[in-house]
Structure 1
Amino acid sequence: MLVFAKVVDLRGFAPAARQLGLTTSAVSRAVARLESHLGVKLLNRTTRSVSLTELGAEVYPGCARIAQTAREVSALAGRYAMVPQGRVRVSAPTVFGEVWLARQLPAFLARWPEVEVDLTLIDRMVDLADEGYDLAIRIATPGSLSPGLVARALFEMSYRLVAAPAYLAAHGEPQSPPELATHRCIYLGYGPFQDRLDFERDGHEPVSVRVRGPLTINNSKGILSTVEAGLGIGIVPDFTSAEALDGQRLRSLFPDWRLVGGYGVRTVHAVYSPSRFLPQKVRVLIDHLAAAGSAH
C-alpha cells in the first residue's frame, strides 16, 4: 500500500523506485501483489505513464493516509532519537549554495556524523512534497514565500555596488548614485533586476538612477568575475561579494545608501513542509544554518 501510494504521488514506477531506494521491477511487483491481494486492477499502465482505474482512485486515499501515518511514526522516532541520523535532501539556489551554503556543511557533518546531506543546487522553486525534499532554501521578499510551507528566517541579504580598484582608477569613483549614469554597470537584467536602481538614505530624498552597461548576466558569480576583471560596476548580493571585498580585490560603493525596490533587502529562509513531527536530522540542520546566518 505504501509503494502504491508513492507510485501515484510521483506518477510513475521509476521515480517511485528512485525515492524508495528500490528497483523499478520491485516497485511493479509490489503493486501487482496488492492488486492480486485485493483482486482488482488499480492502475492502467502504458510504456509512458500510469493512471488510476476507477477503483484505484477510491483505494488511493486510504493508502495515502497509511503512508502519512508511517512517515509521522518514523519522524516521531527520529525526534526522540539520541543521535540525529539519516539523509536530508536539500534544495538551494545555485550561487547561494556554492558561495554560502556549501561552506556551512563541513562543520555540520563533523558535528552530526550520522547525518548525510543530499544537496541539489537548482534555480527553480522545487515542490518539496512531490520531489521528495526535506528542506529548501528560498531567498524572498516579504510576503512572497509559497503558502502552505513552514519558514524559518536565516538572515537578511542585501545587494551591493562593487568595482575593482583598476576600474575606479581608470574611470573615476562615483561619489553619489546619480553619477552611475555615466558608468558601465553590470547587473542581472531579468525579473525585478532591471536597469533602474532605487536608493534611500536617512535624511535625504530617495534617488532613482537608470544605469547602462555592455553586459547583463543571470548569475551573480558571473557578474563578480567580470567586475574583478575591471569591466564595470557590478550589482551583486552581499554573500557573493564578501570574500572579494575582504581581500580588497573589490571596493564597495555608497555604503551610506540602501538599495530598495527591485534590488531591495531579501530574507534567506529555510522552508519545509508542515508536519506534526519535524525529524531531528532536519531540525539540527536548520539550527546549524540559523546559527551561521546570525553571524552573517
Structure 2
Amino acid sequence: MEMLKEMAIFAAVVQHGGFSAAARQLGLTTSAVSRHVTRLEAYMGGRLLQRTTRSLSLTELGTEVHAGCVRLLNTAREIHAFAGSYRAQPSGLIKVSAPIVFGQVWLAPKLPGFLARHPEVDIRLTLVDRKVDLIEEGMDVAIRISNELAPGLAARPLCGMRYVLVATPAYLQRHAPPGEPAQLADHSCIYLGYSDFGEHWPLQRGSEQVTVKVRSRMTINNSAAILAAVEADGGIGLMPDFTAKAALETGRVVQVLPDWSLREPYAGAVHAVYVPGRHVALKIRAFIDYLLA
C-alpha cells in the first residue's frame, strides 16, 4: 500500500503539534518531515494542514485523513504483535535499542542468559544515544532512561538511575576532597559535553537545592570515556551510576559528595518501552519479564 510511511509521519506531526517536534521524536530533519507531508497532500489531492508561523491546524480533509491514519497505524501495530502472541514458546527476532553505555554495561551481559532460556529467539541490539521511533525504525523494545516518556507507548520500569560524582583515591590525596558542592569549583570536573546543564550543575540533598558552576578543561560525550579519564587521575567525574558501578566496587574510584544527587530529566528510572496493543508478542513479554527478574 502506498504512502504508509507518509501517513505515519503525518500522524506524528499532528500528535506532537508541529514539524519540529515530530522530527525530534522520529529522529528526522524538519525538512524531511515536511517533504513527507507534502507528498501525502499531493497523493490525497488537497491540503491536510493549515500552517502559519505560530500555529498548525487540520483542514477538513486533514481531519478525515488523520483519523484514518490513526486507525491504520493501530491496526498495523496489532498485526505486528499478533504473529508471536499465541505461540506456545517465544520465538522470532527481537529488535532492541538502548543507550550506548547502558547497553554495554547493564543490558548486553544479560542477553546470553535470556537466549539460553529461549533457544528459538534471536536478538538484534542497536546501541544509540538518541530516542528511537519504534514504529518508524521497526524496533520491538527501546530502553529509555528518563522520567519523561513519550505518550502512546507502554512502559515497564526496570531499575533506577542517578548521577554520581567519583574520583580516584590518588586524585583526592593530592587535592582536598570537597565537603560541600561549592567546593567543586576548586576541582577539575569532567562531564557529558552534550548535557543540558553544562557547567552549571543542579544538585540536591533532600529538600536542599543548589546550583554550582564548575570548571572543566575537558568534556566528553560518552560516560565510559569520562570514567577512563577519571581513572587516569583527571579529576572529579559526573556520570550515571551504572557507568561507575564496577569501578566503585573494586575501589578504582570512590564517590564524592555521596549525599548529593543531580536534578536532571535523564535520570530517575530506566524503562523498557514498547508499542501497546491487545496482542503483545510473547517474545516481547518474555524478554521484558526476564529483564525485570
Deviation for aligned residue 1:117: 0.6
Question: Does residue 192 in structure 1 map to residue 196 in structure 2?
Answer: yes
Match of 1:98 in 2: 104
Say if 1:215 and 1:70 are closer, same or farther in 2 by CA, change over 3 A: closer
Separation of aligned partners in 1, 2:102 and 2:188: 25
Count of residues in correspondence between the two structures: 246
TM-superposition CA deviations, 1:115-151 (whole Å, max 9, x none): 111111112211111111111111113xx21111111
Deviation for aligned residue 1:226: 0.2
Separation of aligned partners in 1, 2:211 and 2:153: 35
Say if 1:195 and 1:71 are closer, same or farther in 2 by CA, change over 3 A: closer
The amino acid of 1:179's aligned partner reads: Q
Question: Does residue 79 in structure 1 map to residue 82 in structure 2?
Answer: no
RMSD of aligned Cα (Å): 3.1
Match of 2:249 in 1: 246
The amino acid of 2:87's aligned partner reads: A
| Alignment check: 8 A CA contact 1:159 1:264 kept | no
The amino acid of 1:274's aligned partner reads: P
Deviation for aligned residue 1:69: 5.5
Deviation for aligned residue 1:267: 1.2
The amino acid of 2:281's aligned partner reads: P
| Alignment check: 8 A CA contact 1:148 1:273 kept | yes
TM-superposition CA deviations, 1:2-51 (whole Å, max 9, x none): x657677799xxxxxxxxxxxxxxxxxxxxxxxxxxxxxxxxxxxxxx98
Deviation for aligned residue 1:74: 6.8
Match of 2:180 in 1: 176
Match of 1:232 in 2: 235
| Alignment check: 8 A CA contact 1:5 1:67 kept | no
Deviation for aligned residue 1:71: 6.5
Say if 1:260 and 1:7 are closer, same or farther in 2 by CA, change over 3 A: closer
Question: Does residue 134 in structure 1 map to residue 140 in structure 2?
Answer: yes
Match of 1:215 in 2: 218
Q: 2:164 aligns with which of 138, 160, 170?
A: 160
* Secondary structure of 1:91 counterpart: strand
* Secondary structure of 1:239 counterpart: helix
Identity over the aligned pairs, expressed in percent? 48
Say if 1:86 and 1:9 are closer, same or farther in 2 by CA, change over 3 A: farther
Say if 1:71 and 1:137 are closer, same or farther in 2 by CA, change over 3 A: closer
TM-superposition CA deviations, 1:145-200 (whole Å, max 9, x none): 11111111111100000001111111122222222110110011334232122333
Structure number, greater radius of gyration: 1
